[in-house]
């Protein structure tokens, strides 16, 4: 494993275990066929409060949804991003603006410039990884 991978693994572990339990999941709706739906269930089983963020503002997994990050009326610890890479940078900037502690770009969501901006703002960030997979590896290791 490379140093970069080790660092990313350490950051993922810190986000999952130390940075708080309120996760805004951008792109989460009641569509059971979308990855966000299943990952949100895994996060809930791990003790995270999962806040759906989607234009429809649907209630998902028992939590009230919001149309945007800035509409959430309480603090968010982690912003988990399930949108296309070309839209993810804007979400990352919104995460910084609302005072989140970390940003997590899901598998296949990559924006190096957004990563650099988030890190420069002092937040932790993981890109192109899945918290459900990382949680499973934590429980094994």
Interval 44-81: pLDDT, tens:
999 999 999 999 999 999 999 999 999 999 999 999 99
Query: According to the model, what pLDDT value does residue 84 have?
Result: 95
Query: How many domains does the chain divide into?
Result: 1
Q: At a CB cut-off of 8 Å and minimum separation 6, what does 69 contact? A: 24, 26, 53, 76, 79, 91, 94, 95, 97, 98, 100
Residues 78, 123: Cα–Cα separation, whole Å: 10
- The predicted-structure confidence for 85-134, as pLDDT tens digits, reads as follows 999 999 999 999 999 999 999 999 999 999 999 999 999 999 999 999 99
What is the CATH classification number for the domain harbouring 26? 3.40.50.720
pLDDT score of 71: 98
Q: Which residues contact 27 (CB under 8 A, 6 or more apart)?
A: 34, 36, 53, 54, 81, 82, 83
Q: Which residues pair with 26 in a beta bridge?
A: 53, 81
pLDDT band at residue 5 under the 50/70/90 scheme: low
Q: Which domain holds residue 129?
A: 3-140
For residue 105, how far is the Cα from the chain centroid? 6
CA distance 20 to 84: 25
pTM for the model stands at 0.94
């Amino acid at each position: 494993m490379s140093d970069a991978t080790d660092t990313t693994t350490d950051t993922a572990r810190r986000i999952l275990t130390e940075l708080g339990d309120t996760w805004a999941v951008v792109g989460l709706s009641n569509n059971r066929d979308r990855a966000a739906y299943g990952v949100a269930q895994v996060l809930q089983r791990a003790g995270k409060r999962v806040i759906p963020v989607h234009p429809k503002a649907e209630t998902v997994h028992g939590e009230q949804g919001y149309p945007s990050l800035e509409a959430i009326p309480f603090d968010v610890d982690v912003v988990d991003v399930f949108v296309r890479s070309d839209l993810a940078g804007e979400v990352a900037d919104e995460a910084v603006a609302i005072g989140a502690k970390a940003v997590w770009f899901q598998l296949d969501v990559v924006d190096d410039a957004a990563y650099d901006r988030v890190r420069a703002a002092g937040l932790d960030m993981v890109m192109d990884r899945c918290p459900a997979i990382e949680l499973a590896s934590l429980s094994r290791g």
